[in-house]
Structure 1
Amino acid sequence: MATGSVDLGDPGRLDRDVFTAGNFLDQGQLQQSFRVAVSAPHATLSGVLEKAETMIGVPSLWGGNAPAQGLDCSGFVRYVYEKAAGIPLPRLSAQIGRKGSAIAQSELHPGDLVFFNTPRGETTHAGIHVGEQRFIHAPKRGAFIRIESNRIESMKSAYWTCRYYGARRVVA
């Protein structure tokens, strides 16, 4: 889905057979309605990213569900989406990986979810896309939630590229 807004100020750009006077919302209502519909996912994803960034430095703990004790990758994703967007997600990465809409890697927006296969199996790791092939995640026990941003640890690295499974967009 595209993000941003569309200028509908020039009614000549609209299909006059469909948008005849009196058949639909007036131009102002149409413009406001369309802007809300297009920008709502972007606003949700922006809020998710902002919340995720506040979690940097929280201990990574396998099975963790709360920042005070530490979070694992799925606990991190669940916590952020619930607090930032009010969207409840399942507990496991594989379950979360079935929510929302699948999107191509080329269509990723900051706040989208990214999934990876690990030696434990398919869709066993999750993170939140930051942009420019970077993502925030709870990497492993003993580490801390962080952004994978350098060329060795970004999604472009050999390690993450061969493990990349897919991406999902989850919005209310």
Structure 2
Amino acid sequence: MTKNLKVSCCSIILLFILSACSSSAPVASKSPNVQTQPEKTPQEDLPSVLLGNEFDIWEGTPYRYGGANKQGIDCSALIQKIYLSSFNIKLPRTTERQSRQGYPINKNKLQVGDLVFFKTSLTENHVGIFIGKGQFLHASSSQGVMISALNNSYWRSKYWQSRRILN
């Protein structure tokens, strides 16, 4: 191939790609009686995607008090690591100090990424990350890294507070 022919072919291919990207999608007709929820923008879904990825990484990691790696991790280390790797936010190492970060929010106003705190005994606290649909990601002392329901009778009875770190 000659140099001019190569340039022409590349130009045609580039033009084809650019024109394909600029085409508009057909508009679907909607029945006036059907109610639809507004679609989330990719940015609104980002925390969910990031937390899903974190769960894939940490799922099943055993609980170890003071642990901070895949061999064993405690709840505050898990939250600290997830916030740093997914959101580039540095949080303190302990649940007590994490419970003073951000600002308090009402439990019925939880958004994906909010921290949920529990008083599991007179001296022990627990932390997890709300992932939506009434569930939170955490490092359970009995089952390791897992997802639990906030309305589970145990967690409901131990609920202490929620805090928003992400804006």
- Relative to the length of structure 1, the TM-score reads 0.65
Give the % identical residues: 33
Residue of structure 2 equivalent to 1:45: 47
1:69-104: per-residue Cα shift (whole Å, max 9, x none)?
A: 211000100010011111111111111011112111
Is the Cα contact below 8 Å between 1:117 and 1:164 reproduced in 2? yes
Q: Distance in 1 between matches of 2:84 and 2:127?
A: 15
Higher helix share: 2
1:65 aligns with 2:95: no
Is the Cα contact below 8 Å between 1:52 and 1:136 reproduced in 2? no
Larger Rg: 2
Residue of structure 2 equivalent to 1:146: 146
Residue 90 of structure 1 aligns with an amino acid whose one-letter code is: P
Residue of structure 1 equivalent to 2:76: 74
Shift of 1:44: 6.3
Is the Cα contact below 8 Å between 2:115 and 2:163 reproduced in 1? yes
Q: Distance in 2 between matches of 1:108 and 1:63?
A: 28
Residue of structure 2 equivalent to 1:168: 163
SS of the aligned residue for 1:167 comes to: strand
Shift of 1:114: 0.5
Please give the root-mean-square deviation of Cα atoms over the aligned residues, in Å.
Answer: 2.3
1:28-85: per-residue Cα shift (whole Å, max 9, x none)?
A: xxxxxxxxxxx97x46633542343222111211111122x21100010001001111
Residue of structure 2 equivalent to 1:156: 151
Q: Distance in 2 between matches of 1:87 and 1:167?
A: 17
Q: Distance in 1 between matches of 2:110 and 2:102?
A: 13
1:117 aligns with 2:119: yes
- Provide runs of 4+ in structure 1 moved above 2 Å: 42-48
- The count of residues paired between Structure 1 and Structure 2 equals 126
Residue 63 of structure 2 aligns with an amino acid whose one-letter code is: S
Where in structure 1 are there 5+ consecutive unaligned residues?
A: 1-38, 149-153
Residue of structure 2 equivalent to 1:135: 136
- Relative to the length of structure 2, the TM-score reads 0.67
SS of the aligned residue for 2:129 comes to: strand
